Structure 1
Amino acid sequence: MSEEVRIGGRCPFAGDSVGGAAGSEPTLQHWWPNRLKVELLHQNPAEANPQDADFDYAEAFEKLDLAEVKKDIKELLTSSVDWWPADYGNYGPQMIRMAWHSAGTYRIADGRGGAGEAMQRFAPINSWWDNGNIDKSRRLLWPIKKKYGDALSWGDLIVLTGNCSLEIMGFPTFGFAGGRIDAWEPDNLTYWGPEGWTGKKPEDAPPGPMEGHPDQMVNRGLRWTGEAGDENYDLEAPLAASNQALIYVDPEGSAKKGIPEDSAHDIRITFGRMAMNDEETVALIAGGHAFGKSHGMTPPDEIGPAPEAAPMEAQGLGWHNPRGKGNAEDTMTNGIEGSWTQNPSAWDNSYLENLFKFEWEQTRSPAGALQWTPVDKDAPRTPDAHREGVDHPLMMMTSDIALKVDPAYRKICEKFLADFDYFTDAFARAWYKLTHRDMGPKSRYLGREVPDEDLIWQDPIPPVDFELIDAGDVADLKARILDSGLTVSELAGVAWGAASTFRTSDKRGGADGARIRLAPQKDWPVNNPGEVDKVVATLTGLKADFDGAQSGHKKVSLADLIVLGGCAAIEKAARDSGVEIEVPFTPGRNDATAEQTDEQSFRWLEPVSDGFRNFHRTDIRYNVAPEQIFLDRAALLGLSAPEWTALTGGLRVLDINADGPFKQHGVFTDKPGVLTNDFFENLTSPDFEWQKIDEDGLEFTLTDRHSGEARFKATRCDLVFGSNSQLRQLAEFYAQSGGHEKLVHDFVAAWNKVMMHDRFDVARKQRATT
């Protein structure tokens, strides 16, 4: 390359300057910040993955000698290196923090976050202030990752190392499951909050070296409503952390005010948003703080930039500390300094004993952060992590004192204090849930340390212990279903309602289990409860007739019948439009019971806005437009832009909209229940014009330009397929000559993809056969 091509010079390809200020370039996002980013549906493409297309991670992992892997990890944990010395000669505590923070991004509202894809390796998470120096933990693990290669993903290695760390310090873990498959690029879709990178509003000054530092994150009004203790005090959905760039809550208390009662409010809301109840919350905090220390020896304004902004020569390591050694006794992470216990590298109950035995007074760390120290000067002291013969006062954070002052948390703490074995079991189970919550059903778990016990948060479904229906049975049942009096829209609507609860994020939901017949799903307005009752009652009768007529062990589950009913309906709708097609169907689902269903947990799967069925609750204040929520739901279903478009156009003409103000909107056809391409033909026709009905621009009418007749009504989730430039090309594709038959085939393929999302048993069998 020519010597004239240099940083700050002219770009040799397009003539644009590459030396301008970051963010000043005329990008698409710069000019059109509110556009619908349809390209986000195509993240993590095959082209980004260097592995062979036929690489089977489950097969590779199962060949590992897990005991040997753990032996290697445990040896590394007690082998301190000079460039980043281990506190107390044991890397265990910092590796527990690494695993915790990897899994702790999980949130139950949309299932995003968690340890599943090891997103902790990428921006923005790798550069959040709360993840300070976790980059060093992962770099310490590189020799293990290098040794085992593709057979051990970063996601599995991070969680397994957390388990090994607990075990070498005397804690009996509950179990471990492999099966996390790494991503190969950052996640650009997940919404982490309204604040800018510094925790301020986006229009504020650009970030400096301390981007994401909690000192800059006090504008809680951006994601919170009300004040702590108020009736309306809550956190914006789907967010779970109390501030931008934090995993849970600010350890110094709400808005760094150091008020334990307010911190308790934050803890309950944020841990609840991460699927933890009060007991699990206390177990995790008390158990995690039994180990290690916090670091706050250097003022935050002296620390260098986070990994993503670090200089080239740092090679991905950030937060350079210029003071003293830059590590060891001079380390800086969250700004709080000290340890909670007298023996920070052993499992015991001294954290809770210290918290309740002593009175605590507020003080500040060398870095200036709020923390607490015992009032009693005769209280035990904690050893220095690196210097022999040096000790320090014990430390508590405001978020620790919160457990003592909150009545419900205090009661749980007292229970743990009175029964250490019970506390040990509670922490083991809570840690297992924390690190495995985003993996989905137990059928996806790999390895020899998977516990036998089925846990309610795993959404268990009884194993299939009966002979499955065959092709002849399928044909017979389809005929019976279509002769039952149920309409195409009723059958397709209930099947879609059952299957479309699935989330690719945490692998929850789906048609398997037939939970659409159980609370809370049967009562969701989006599911048209009256139709659900009618369809389930009819199919239950067909199931009883079929099962009763069989000899031996052959049965059909209601879950299979619900999906099969949708398949039969679509075949009829396609046939009525002049296209013969067979919709794929794979039996093997079973029916869950109410006792196997965590009703409170499943409430988070209920959509408040669902563009697939033109459902949008008008009693809720939204911060984003309906089409943005629609895009998010398409992403959670793992759909591409063409799949999203084909499904929407097909579902509209099948007339499966939810009851409510938009029941008739988007059904751009005179033949509802027939699988035509009418939605796209009418949407793209120049003979019609659209007019806004309401001031907010949520409803529209389609008027014939020649006659002035109002033909159809629409929502934003309909018109976006004509207004967005990328989606319009797809809408025109299905509206053009030959588009009808293509739409039918694409709709069926996308439909089957959604119906099969939760059939992990089938995916595993296919891997085994190939």
Structure 2
Amino acid sequence: MNSSLKLKLLSATFLTLGLAACGGSDSATSERGAASQPRGAEYRADNEQPTEGEAWEGTTDAERPEVSQAVQAAKGNDFWWPQTLDLAPLRQNASDYSPLGPDFNYREAFLELDLEEVKSDIEALMTESQDWWPADYGHYGPFFIRMAWHSAGTYRLADGRGGAAGGQQRFEPLNSWPDNTNLDKARQLLWPIKKKYGDALSWADLMVLTGNVAMESMGFKTIGFAGGREDDWEPDLVYWGPEGEFLGSKERFAGGELEKPLGASVMGLIYVNPEGPNGSGDPLEAAERIRLTFGRMAMNDEETVALIAGGHTFGKAHGAHKPDDCLSREPAALGTENQGIGWNNSCGKGHSEDTVTSGLEGAWTADPARWTHQYLTFLFEYDWERGESPAGAIQYHPAGGEADSLVPDAHRDDVRHAPMMLTTDLALKEDPAYREISMRFLEDPAEFEDAFARAWFKLTHRDMGPRSNYLGSMVPEGEFIWQDPVPEVSNPISTSDASRLKQEIMASDLTVPQLVRAAWASASSFRESDQRGGTNGARLRFAPQNQWAANSPQEITEVMAVLSDIQQRFNEAGGRQVSMADLLVLGGAAAIEKAAQDAGQDVSVTFRPGRGDATEDMTDGESFVHLEPKADAFRNYYSSEARLTPAQAMVDKADMLGLTIPEMTALIGGMRALGATHGGGEMGVLTDNPGQLTNDFFVNLMDIGTVWEKIGDYTYVGRDRASGEEKWQASEVDLVFGSNAELRAAAERYAYDGGDERLAHDFVRAWTKVMNLGRPQEPSRG
């Protein structure tokens, strides 16, 4: 999934200006470390460099102080004009940079691996403790579990972004998040494995697989592993929240609720503050945040309890000293001599019993390097009283000094400790719903183990999409509802079948705009971020997709009725069977060919069959709710519920579809010419011949004889410059192709004399790309 996630809207803060991030933290639920400078910090306060026009008079070159990188760095246009439409995500789609070259096939390379050999190598590494970073309890398993969890745990349901795919933990800002403190060392420990297997084993797959092997090496049985995550080669531009510094949370709750599409409750953490909201130490308040955050990340209450209880069975938290007293800055803030390793610890040994990450300290069980049921046993067996770690962090220990010597030290044979619990752990005991589940798991260990195994598999595979993307000999049998299962098609229609069906479709009463809108509604639900949605499954037939306002429910019902009759007649004739998923794509293709022919263009829309039809029982409707478009510039649809402006939402949608700037431009102009706007409205249809694939949209947009006047928040009217007569209506996403310099450059190419042929060619190519998104890959599981 090269460069597939493409989150964007915080790029000015962390990338364009080159500001250093900072922090210092520990486990999957930590919130400690220094705050970074906000974007508006004055650079000259530190270095007193001259501004433009000033000079270092009376000094030689050798005497002049070194100009800071922040001063020298080129400033993007969004520095000078913050409201400029950010097109960086689409430029990233265009580059899709990979040093592996266009002919490298990761699926083929991965399937050549001997996974048992890989697992054996990883397992051997677990107990090969290194002097430079010794293993707690002589076993790196808990450390690697945290690495895998934090790689996958950024996934969020609302937009499908985050997750393990791409191996983004290697890049900033994730690499330098406070919650990922010291995980740079985990990947250093794994380097011999990566070095041995090279391109055939991506970092993204290696980190998740290592988490699985870690659990199994400590006695827990996972339900399997799937490969297929291709590495990204550049950091994603990520909107992780509105805060300008790490460990902030107030701004994301400014409206009283956690801002969408965010999942984590604190900037720079995977989930929540382990000391409770704002360090309250209140388990019930913590429970509310846990439920909110894990819910945003696709987990229900049972899965949440299983993950917390199962994950905290292993390992310990590290807070032997105060982070601010010991830790250097994070990797992104340190010099080149550190070679990407940050959080250098100056206290004591700098590791082992002196390890510092979050400031929380201790283990949950008496055997932290082995799978046991002690976490839940201890949680309910003891009365827990509030205390502090050596670093001053809020945590809990058994009341009255009970069990003070129950837990061995991670490195010293002659030292013992009491078990500890975090505020977030006690939430599983104090919250009524969590308590009921926890008690059930306590009384039925087999049920607990099964629930944890399933939740762990979901956590680490949620963003991979359908099972057809899964690779390797360890893929579990069966399918889960969250994988959006679709029956495989064993005998897809032939080319001659497709031609006959297209003729029958065009002979019906369905119009070109109706067919184009229906095909687009089906295909454009795809999210490249987590490989969900798209035409495969034809879930446009039933709720919730057939009720989405963007899809014009009444029209979709009418189109589906006609296509269903065609499907039934074809399938009853015997022989090959056509799915509704393929039929929707065929209808769009037939309509575009007709529209191009009517405009004097001879084009052929490539069609690849093989999509299947899902059933309602195969569809998690509650999960699909999150795919509903609140804005779709391609249909000129915009809802008041949209969180972005129409132009910003256009870029976000195009990014989800993996489109480049030229592809987005061609699709917008072509669909306007086809009259494929939401509800068949005139907004943006800048042509006197709607339904024909012409370049009229661009020609009329560039017409200097038209003067535009704003008449609403995002709507405009175009008037004849001489007479003042109204000619067109348009939205912000229409006019931005004339006002934004980069988009105008792309649009002008289609407005040239004779540009209609170029548009037809580019439109068909971009359209075909969208129609094939989410199309099932050939099964290959090793």
Both proteins in one fold, TM over 0.5: yes
Residues 1:252 and 2:275 aligned together: yes
Instruction: Give the conservation status (yes or no) of the 8 Å contact 2:93–2:655.
Output: no
Match of 2:201 in 1: 152
Quote the Cα distance in structure 2 between the aligned partners of 1:45 and 1:716: 24
1:627 aligns with 2:647: yes
4+ residue stretches of structure 1 with deviation over 3 A? 7-10, 15-18, 23-26, 44-48
Which residue is equivalent to 1:427?
Answer: 452
Note if 1:501 corresponds to 2:525: yes
| Cα distance in 2 for residues equivalent to 1:260 and 1:655 | 56
Q: Distance in 1 between matches of 2:316 and 2:623?
A: 33
Q: Does 1:617 align with 2:639?
A: yes
1:658 Cα offset (Å): 2.1
Counterparts of 2:113 and 2:555, CA distance in 1? 50
Once residues 518 and 557 of structure 1 are traced to their aligned partners in structure 2, the CA distance between those partners, rounded to angstroms, is 15
Note the alpha carbon deviations across 1:179-211, whole angstroms, 9 max, x for none. 1100111112x3111111x2xxxxxxxxxxxxx
Query: What is the distance in 2 between the residues matched to 1:44 and 1:585?
Result: 23
Aligned to 1:241: 264
User: What residue in structure 1 maps to residue 706 of structure 2?
Assistant: 688
Could you say which residue in structure 2 is the equivalent of 1:748? 764
Q: Deviations over 1:32-63 (max 9, x none)?
A: 22211213212276684221321111111111
Q: Percent identity?
A: 54
1:517-546 alpha-carbon deviations (Å, 9 max, x no partner): 011101000001111101111011011111
- Matched with 1:321 is 345
1:646 aligns to what?
666
Aligned counterparts of 1:350 and 1:252: Cα–Cα separation in 2: 22
Does the 8 Å contact 2:516/2:588 carry over to 1?
Answer: yes
- Report the alpha carbon displacement of residue 147 of structure 1 after superposing the two structures with TM: 0.6
Cα deviation 1:308-331 (Å, max 9, x = unaligned): 112222110001110001111011
Superposed displacement of residue 121, structure 1: 0.1
SS in structure 1 of the partner of residue 568 of structure 2: helix
Residue 67 of structure 2: which of 19, 23, 32 is its match?
19
Map of 1:289 onto structure 2: 312
**2:14 matched residue in structure 1:** none
Partner residue, 2:250 = 221
| 1:191 pairs with 2:226 | no
1:107-122 to 2 correspondence within 5 Å?
A: 107-122=156-171
Q: Which residue does 1:520 correspond to in 2?
A: 544
Cα separation, 2, equivalents of 1:243 and 1:758 = 33
- Which of 623, 645, 649 is the matching residue for 1:601? 623
Q: Which residue of 2 aligns with 1:475?
A: 499
Q: Which amino acid aligns with 1:191?
A: Y
Q: Does 1:37 align with 2:86?
A: yes
Q: Contact between 2:123 and 2:217, CA under 8 Å: does it hold in 1?
A: yes
Shift of the 335–664 alpha-carbon distance from structure 1 to 2, 3 Å rule, reads farther
Cα deviation, 1:141-178, whole Å, max 9, x if unaligned, reads: 00000011111110111000000000011000010001
Greater Cα offset, 642-651 or 472-481: 472-481
2:363 maps to 339
SS at 2:763's partner residue? helix
The range that moved more, 473-482 or 24-33, is: 24-33
Q: Is the 8 A contact 1:525 1:658 kept in 2?
A: no
Aligned to 1:136: 185
In the alignment, residue 446 of structure 1 is paired with which amino acid?
L
Letter in 1 for 2:481: I
Q: Cα gap change, 1:60/1:421 in structure 2, threshold over 3 Å: closer, same or farther?
A: same
| Whole-Å separation in 2 of the counterparts to 1:654 and 1:18 | 58
Residue pairs, 1:14-413, within 5 angstroms: 19-20=67-68, 22=70, 27-28=75-76, 29-43=78-92, 48-188=97-237, 190-196=238-244, 198=245, 212=246, 214=247, 217=248, 220-225=249-254, 233-302=256-325, 303-379=327-403, 381-413=406-438
In 2: Cα distance, 1:48 partner to 1:473 partner: 39
Higher relative CO (Cα under 8 Å, sequence separation at least 6) belongs to 2
Report the CA distance between 1:728 and its aligned residue.
0.5
> How far has the Cα of 1:20 moved from its partner?
3.6
SS in 2 for 1:362: strand
SS in 2 for 1:99: helix
Whether the aligned pair in 2 keeps the contact of 1:304 and 1:321 (CA below 8 Å) is yes
After TM superposition, give the deviation of residue 490 of structure 1 in Å: 0.7
The one-letter code matched in structure 1 to 2:624 is F
The alignment of Structure 1 onto Structure 2 pairs a total of residues equal to 722
Counterpart of 2:707, as a letter, is: E
Shift of 1:18: 6.8
Confirm or deny: 8 A CA contact 1:44 1:183 kept in the other structure: no
- 1:43 match: secondary structure: helix
Q: CA deviation at 1:630?
A: 1.2
In the alignment, residue 252 of structure 2 is paired with which amino acid? R
Which residue number in structure 2 is paired with residue 588 of structure 1?
Answer: 610
- Distance in 2, matches of 1:120 and 1:338, equals 25
- In structure 1, the residue matched to 2:593 is 571
Local SS of the residue matching 2:299: coil
- Counterpart CA distance in 2 for 1:262 and 1:18 is 49
Distance of 1:115 and 1:49 partners within structure 2: 18
What letter matches 2:502 in structure 1?
Answer: K
Mapped to 1, the partners of 2:506 and 2:204 lie a distance apart of 46
Task: Write out aligned runs for 1:460-471 (5 A).
Answer: 460-465=485-490, 467-471=491-495
Instruction: State the Cα distance separating 1:221 from its structure 2 match.
Output: 3.1
1:531 counterpart SS class:
helix
8 Å Cα contact 2:610-2:776 kept in structure 1 = no
Structure 1 CA distance for aligned equivalents of residues 186 and 475 of structure 2: 25
CA distance in 2, matches of 1:583, 1:48: 28
Structure 1: how far apart are the matches of 2:681 and 2:482? 34
Q: How many angstroms apart in 2 are the aligned matches of 1:527 and 1:688?
A: 32
CA distance in 2: counterparts of 1:587 and 1:705, whole angstroms: 49
How far residue 225 of structure 1 moved from its aligned partner, in angstroms, is 4.6
SS in 1 for 2:777: helix
Residues 48 and 490 of structure 1, relative CA distance in 2, 3 Å threshold: closer
Matched, 1:698 2:714: yes
Q: Per-residue deviation at 1:26? A: 5.8
Residues 270 and 120 of structure 1: CA distance in aligned 2, closer, same or farther (over 3 Å): same
1:668 CA displacement: 1.1
Taking the aligned partners of 1:257 and 1:53, their CA distance within structure 2 comes to 52
Distance in 2, matches of 1:127 and 1:290, equals 26
Q: Render the CA deviation track for 1:437-473: whole Å, top value 9, x for unaligned.
A: 11111101111000111111110001113x3222222
Cα distance in 1 between the residues matched to 2:431 and 2:685 = 53
In 2, the alpha carbon distance for the partners of 1:18 and 1:489 equals 62
Kept after mapping to 1: 8 A contact 2:91/2:660: yes
Secondary structure of 2:650's partner?
helix
SS of residue in 2 equivalent to 1:40: helix
CA distance in 1, matches of 2:674, 2:224: 47
Task: Tell whether the 8 Å contact from 2:94 to 2:660 is kept in structure 1 after alignment.
Answer: no
Matched residue SS, 2:716 = strand
SS in 2 for 1:508: coil
Gaps of 5+ in 2: 1-46, 57-64
